[in-house]
Amino acid sequence: MALRLGDIAPNFKAQTSMGEIDFYDYLGSSWGVLFSHPADYTPVCTTELGKTAHLKEEFDRRNVKALAVSVDNLDRHEGWIKDINETQNTTVNFPIIADSNREVATLYDMIHPNASATTTVRSLFIIGPDKAVKLMITYPASTGRNFVEVLRVIDSLQLTAQHSVATPADWKQGEDVIVVPAVSTEDAIKKFPKGVRVVKPYLRYTPQP
């Protein structure tokens, strides 16, 4: 059955461009981003992996480890990584799984047969330190993902894991956040000393804790 939010992300062992890994050991106590691509030597994927490599410092600052999945073998990965480094002006600095037998793709339901019978779609999972799935997105082969948006979501997930807040549409680090409905306005005033702005009884903002 397909994974859902809150499910425990299944563990696996896999060959990668950086050696064999056990997924849980690789993650340790970090957050994880596990993301698939249709295939090696494809243009959109080349830009996506390049972008992820460029954002390594941002992922590190948030204690997040990236791990890519592609249903090609290690030899092809090695050649493709050279191309990514050259064309995207970067150094791929995270492992790419060689998922030729589609074990990981199947485990994470990354093949959507009505889109393509053989290649993976652009699935992306954010996994918390508790190994629970916190976010899933699925894009078609034709549309590259926005990895700055992935960082923004991670900021929201990490903030809302610690405080009784939610983040509004288009929220970015430093902007006001929403007090969750489960907290009464009376309790919110005690909980959030920076202040609570009540727009409607159900819509209350507070500065980012």
Q: Does 138 bind ligand BEZ (CB under 6 A)?
A: no
* Binding test (CB under 6 A) with ligand BEZ, winner from 141, 157, 159, 166: 141
Q: Does 44 bind ligand BEZ (CB under 6 A)?
A: yes
Q: How many residues sit in the footprint of ligand BEZ (CB under 6 A)?
A: 7
* Contact letters for ligand BEZ, residues 46-65 (x by CB under 6 A): --------------------
3/44 with CB nearer ligand BEZ: 44
Structure tokens at 117: 């019978």
Q: Does 117 bind ligand BEZ (CB under 6 A)?
A: no
d(CA 94, CA 67): 6
Known active-site residue 10: no
Q: How many Cα atoms within 13 Å fall on the side-chain side of residue 131?
A: 11
Q: Does 45 bind ligand BEZ (CB under 6 A)?
A: yes
* Binding test (CB under 6 A) with ligand BEZ, winner from 19, 43, 174, 201: 43
1/117 with CB nearer ligand BEZ: 117
Q: What's the DSSP call for residue 45?
A: H
Structure tokens at 29: 């106590």
Taking the complex as a whole, how short is the minimal distance between the CB of residue 26 and ligand BEZ, in angstroms?
24
27, 33, 34, 45: the catalytic one is: 45
What's the alpha-carbon Rg for the chain, to the nearest Å? 19
**Residue for token pair 């050259």:** 86
Burial (CB < 10 A; 0-12, 13-18, 19+), residue 81, is middle
Q: Does 38 bind ligand BEZ (CB under 6 A)?
A: yes
Write down how long the chain is.
209
d(CA 135, CA 164): 18
116/160 with CB nearer ligand BEZ: 116
Check if the beta carbon of residue 29 is closer than 8 Å to that of residue 39: no
Residues catalogued as catalytic:
45
Q: Which residues bind ligand BEZ (CB under 6 A)?
A: 38, 42-45, 141-142
